[in-house]
Structure 1
């Protein structure tokens, strides 16, 4: 009899232990993540809710908008058994919300028997500002005269903080930068290869909630035709340049094959590098006055020369020249075009040994085919300071300097930046007036 009672007691004890273990096996609430979790939003803002419960699994979730004492149900969903993870996209477009503050309340429960079968609950509040009003753009600069291949600058004011702003021209975007005066300044280009009808610059602004507005500007354009040049390639030139590029060309073959790869694919890679470097620009103008050029030099190549390459009487390739080729004496000292910061001082494909200087607002200058560097990345240089010496590295047929000017990675006409009068009337005067 005593043994039976003892057995019953043991069974009851084991049952209580098992029940206790089962009851307390999952006491953790579901993990709730909302992206974004705070900030300014609109009905266009994508909100992503992620739920995670590695215990008994998710049971349900309820999402409610709290604003000015009102509760608006946004989502209410139950989950199948053993659901460990869930991701929901929340859409505010169906709700009539007011401008201003609101909270998103998220209550998520799991399948646990804890809390007398009610399970574990996670309740969180996420604060936001609701804004569906696009930013107001007030264009301040009045005259915008651009020549094909040239540059321009627009200044404007915005009524709120923004995520992104600048000038949009087709698929090209030129970022604008807020100055100490709270005025925005944006350098932009009239690309030399853009059709006249496609050049329609618009100031754009995207606020923190994703609202967008565009504003037109008054502008006048001047057309310009660029030279057509025929370049005959000699075997001597091809054989001279092939060794420099062999290690950079996949499956390098004959000198002509190497040239075609360098002049095509490598040239495209180098252009992409200039676009990448443009993102490292500083937000304020560093230059002072007009840019200087290589002293006592003659012009071998002009900006936007359309070059056709011939070998043994047949046209084999073509390209466009993105700067000026300036020749002086061999290994001539190269002056910095203007004040700025050295962003690049290394080998770069067709440009050989080259230096890129950032002058702010997306404006950068390129000095190519060098033989020697006298500065390094991170150095702050001043107008006229010696950067190094000319050479024939890269895709150069002889000792000279290739000088290029870029606005947010787009090649522009250097002549304008050498012109004191043009710079004053089109760029510097706008920056001075609005400071």
Structure 2
């Protein structure tokens, strides 16, 4: 090959290299451009909370915008009310951010009471197609209520005994989410009554608990509406202090050996007899009482009963309500509890009548109470029949006053065959004697409902 031919070939090669490189550069540039154009083809995501439609003065509205692709470019929030559009938030994010969150308070007077709409618009930093597809708007309608409910007391005479209960009748300016009487940390729900002559009338059975003397008893009617506005009002009342008995329960190994096996699976299988008994008498007792509070929420909003409650026939009173009990073992005090019911002793396995009309809400084993029947009489009023040897009803059954619901026995922490009879209001134990007294029922309950 001649020298001239070799030189010509080298020249041709030299011309080809820049063209190929230019082609590669153009393809890369085009690819990068297409990547930038198509790398984010989805709009930002938006959320507005809360989901509830009713808002109050203390409420807030939270807005979240997110775009994990090209990032957020701007966020605008507008309130629409009475055909007016009022900007609340206008923000730009020149550098782009992945997540933005705004919390709006409603106590600045910008939004008035009534219905309004929040409209949110977010734009991301994408180029596809030239930015127009990266915009999204969402809206949500709320109702702003800044007025708390008004409370109108209708029961102006309220006499209570320590450990006993009473009925408060009151009306509210609106139907509310929650209302009742607060006594310290205890809450007694009120129930909206049908009719009411156009008023929102509520009945509330409440107690002066056995452990709350008159100087510490300070009840209030409370109410909160769907928007979270709340109201509180005191009312006139008179209370009578009561002295309760003290008693000693002497524990023996024979009694515990006979009793503890019934609680198999409920008590840790360790420790001495007295350790296991104290677990039952303390931890299990608290759980059982909490269950009674839970059961009280399963109640009729109207009264199911009428007249005085029926007592176990031909039964002698044994332990009384709110007896303060010291538990003694080998001459030493090992525990203290309060007996929150009446112990009534008749013949063995005596038939037990329902105290009054109602619905069975529990018929099963319940720890310290053994086999139990609980009857709901409405408004959170329930009667408890414990230590039964057998039960003759089931959950959901309707019963009438005097109907046999079971038989007395020795189940649970019973030292002998008897009936532990209790009355609870909102799950709080109260004095059963009151519900056997026709005059007390007339003066303190029925006279307020007529």
Give the TM-score of the pair, scaled to structure 2: 0.88
Pick one of 44, 57, 61 that aligns with 2:75.
61
Residue 59 of structure 1 and its aligned partner are, at CA, apart by 3.6
Deviation at 1:86, TM superposition (A): 4.6
Between the aligned partners of 1:53 and 1:47, the Cα distance in structure 2 is 20
Q: SS of the residue aligned with 1:248?
A: coil
The separation in 1 between residues aligned to 2:292 and 2:97, in whole angstroms, is 49
Distance 2:294 2:51 in 1: 31
Residues 1:280 and 1:74: Cα distance change in structure 2 (over 3 Å): farther
Q: CA offsets per residue over residues 19-64 of structure 1, 9 Å max, x none? A: 4564344333323222224522222113232334354343432222
Q: Distance in 2 between matches of 1:296 and 1:79?
A: 84
Question: Would the alpha carbon gap of residues 60 and 340 (structure 1) be closer, same or farther in structure 2, given more than 3 Å must change?
Answer: farther
Structural mapping, 1:5-154, within 5 Å: 19-20=33-34, 22-37=36-51, 39-78=53-92, 83-117=97-131, 120-154=134-168
For 1:339 and 1:301, the matched residues in 2 are separated by: 26
User: Residue 162 of structure 2 contacts residue 213 of structure 2 at CA under 8 Å; is this kept in 1?
Assistant: no
1:382 matched to 2:400: yes
**C-alpha distance in structure 2 between counterparts of 1:169 and 1:257, whole Å:** 35
Mapped partners of 2:183, 2:160: distance in 1: 13
Aligned to 2:241: 223
Q: Which moved more, 1:6-15 or 1:105-114?
A: 6-15
1:175-227 Cα offsets, whole Å, 9 max, x none, are 11111124111111101101323211111111122111112211111111111
Indicate the SS of the match to 1:274: helix
Q: Is 2:355 the partner of 1:341?
A: no
Render the CA deviation track for 1:71-120: whole Å, top value 9, x for unaligned: 44433445696754454432122344322222222122223223413552
Residues 309-342 of structure 1 show CA distances to partners (whole Å, capped at 9, x for unaligned) of: 1112111111001111111111111111112221
Instruction: Choose from 156, 164, 173 the match for 1:159.
Output: 173
Partner of residue 399, structure 1: 417
Deviation at 1:163, TM superposition (A): 1.6
Q: Tell me, yes or no, if structure 1 residue 208 matches structure 2 residue 226.
A: yes
**Cross-structure match for 2:5:** none
Residue matched to 1:300: 318
- Measured in 1, the distance between the counterparts of 2:223 and 2:332 equals 50
For structure 2, the residue ranges without an aligned partner over 5 or more in a row are 1-14
8 Å Cα contact 1:37/1:127 also seen in 2: no
Moved more, 335-344 or 11-20: 11-20
C-alpha distance after superposition, 1:410-430 (max 9, x if no partner):
111111112122112211232
Equivalents in 1 of 2:281, 2:253: separation in Å?
Answer: 16
C-alpha contact (below 8 Å) 2:307/2:441 kept by paired residues: yes
Question: Equivalences for 1:406-417 in 2 at 5 Å?
Answer: 406-417=424-435
* Residues 223, 78 of structure 1: alpha-carbon distance in 2 compared, 3 angstrom cutoff: farther
Q: Which has the larger radius of gyration?
A: 2
User: CA offsets per residue over residues 128-151 of structure 1, 9 Å max, x none?
Assistant: 222211111111122111110111
Q: Which residue of 2 aligns with 1:239?
A: 257
Q: Distance in 2 between matches of 1:353 and 1:51?
A: 57
1:174 to 155, 175, 188: 188
Deviation at 1:294, TM superposition (A): 1.1
SS in 1 for 2:401: coil
Alignment of 1:266-285 (within 5 A): 266-285=284-303
- Check the 8 A contact 2:213/2:241 in 1, yes or no: no
SS in 1 for 2:429: strand
Q: Which moved more, 1:148-157 or 1:122-131?
A: 122-131
Aligned length: 432
For structure 1, which runs of at least 5 residues remain unmatched after alignment?
A: none
- SS at structure 2 position matched to 1:263: helix
